[in-house]
Amino acid sequence: RFYGVEGDTTIVFNHNSNYEVFYIYTDFEIESVQFDPDQWLISASNLDTLVKKYDEVVIYPNPANNYLRIPLQQNNYTDIAVIDCCGKEVKAGYTTEGAGITIDVGDLVAGMYIIRINTGSEVKMVKFLKM
């Protein structure tokens, strides 16, 4: 269930495979999320992480030909994945430094991709175009 000042809505995501990405659009700004409010899931324990599209995450160059640079501000373990338009993880890596990471995207097919940045406490996602 998604909540905001102007309203709330319940959305059911039908998960069919690993690394699926779901996009939703609401008529209001989402301020909080309640995961599985009616306890429809079978599993006993679930982790709920609010995933936001962060405009402050800057990746460059975008569009990219060979390399993509992701400056990071946290000084902790960061897991990074490149996900294609089908939701498949095509590259993965991690860093323990706050300076950033450079990803070789030269071997990827031209198209739209998503960078997923997981710091352990939050997940950030940003799109990039491979030329």
In a domain, 45, yes or no: no
pTM of the model: 0.57
In a domain, 46, yes or no: no
Q: What is the pLDDT of residue 79?
A: 84
Q: What is the pLDDT of residue 66?
A: 94
69 & 97 share domain: yes
Q: Which domain does 121 fall in, by range?
A: 51-130
In a domain, 44, yes or no: no
pLDDT tens track, the chain, 131 positions: 888 888 888 888 777 777 788 888 888 888 888 776 666 664 444 444 445 444 467 889 999 999 998 887 665 667 889 998 888 899 988 776 667 788 999 999 999 999 988 877 778 888 899 99
If one counts the domains in the chain, the total is 2
118 & 69 share domain: yes
- Strands (E) in 1-131, as ranges, are 2-4, 7-9, 32-33, 51-53, 67-70, 78-83, 89-95, 101-104, 111-118, 123-130
In a domain, 66, yes or no: yes
